[in-house]
Amino acid sequence: MAKLRRKGRTREAKLLLICCEGAETEPQYFAAWAYDFPRVKICVRSPPNDQSAPAHVIEHAKHQMRKLRFENSDEAWLVVDRDRWPGKQLAILHQESTRAQLKLANSNPSFHLWLLAHFEAIGQPLDKVEIDLRLRSHLGAFNKTSIQMPRFLPFVYDAIHNAKAADGVGKNVRSGQTRVYLLVQEILRLTDSSHANAV
């Protein structure tokens, strides 16, 4: 088990660790909340670019949990895509993440679907090219290396609503679904929503 209890006096704030499979878009998105709040400290991490397979993301998360000296009240989340990995690897991801007490915020086909949910209803199968085309139609331009978070944050609650409406709440995330909303709901709960309006 990756979680470690710190000896002696405990931290006053909860630690929320977000480990992203992607090295560009996802860390940019969650960095908007990567500050110290009275109730929570949010840390965003990504493994090296050549180590984005689910097994590597899990090992990286476990390493970060040890490094940050996790306590029982802390949380660690994995943000991963469905599009690149075969079913066997995803089955291992579910099994190993449960064993390591990691929560999943996965998307099918990709994290960009979560971004699209800020602007429109989702739920139908879409490939990555179509998702990016739709993002450009809403934003005028879309660059995954510079996503300009102020253009997304005002619509976070719309994204949660749209992702929830599309979620079948089964074990697997089907095409056109994203469970990133579960992580974002937790962030908003722990930060009392105030930061979403401030950034």
pLDDT: is 197 or 188 the higher one?
188
- What stretches of the chain show up as alpha helix (H) in DSSP? 25-31, 54-67, 87-99, 112-116, 128-139, 156-166, 180-190, 194-198
139 vs 29: CA distance, rounded Å: 15
Place of tokens 């809403």: 138
Domain boundaries, position 131: 14-198
132 within domain boundaries: yes
Mean of pLDDT values over 23-41: 87
pLDDT tens-digit series, residues 112-144:
999 999 999 999 999 999 999 999 999 999 999
7 within domain boundaries: no
56 vs 178: CA distance, rounded Å: 21
Q: Ranked by mean pLDDT, which of 19-23, 77-81, 190-194 comes out on top?
A: 77-81
- What stretches of 68-167 show up as alpha helix (H) in DSSP? 87-99, 112-116, 128-139, 156-166
pLDDT: is 33 or 18 the higher one?
18
Q: Is 8 left (phi over 0), alpha (psi -120 to 50) or beta?
A: left
Mean of pLDDT values over 160-172: 89
pLDDT: is 36 or 112 the higher one?
112
Q: pLDDT band at residue 84, thresholds of 50, 70 and 90? A: low
Total domains in the chain come to 1
The pLDDT score that the predictor gives to residue 50 is 60
Mean of pLDDT values over 64-92: 83
Tokens, residue 1: 């088990």
Q: Ranked by mean pLDDT, which of 20-24, 71-75, 83-87 comes out on top?
A: 71-75
164 within domain boundaries: yes
9 within domain boundaries: no
* Span of 28-42, 64-78, 107-121, 145-159 with lowest mean pLDDT: 28-42
The pLDDT score that the predictor gives to residue 108 is 92
133 within domain boundaries: yes
Contact 14, 73 (CB under 8 A): yes
9 vs 3: CA distance, rounded Å: 17
Burial class (CB in 10 A: 0-12, 13-18, 19+), 18: buried
89 within domain boundaries: yes
The pLDDT score that the predictor gives to residue 103 is 92
Mean of pLDDT values over 72-97: 79
4 within domain boundaries: no
The pLDDT score that the predictor gives to residue 3 is 43
Closest CA to 159 of 110, 112, 109: 112
Closest CA to 181 of 105, 123, 120: 105
24 vs 33: CA distance, rounded Å: 16
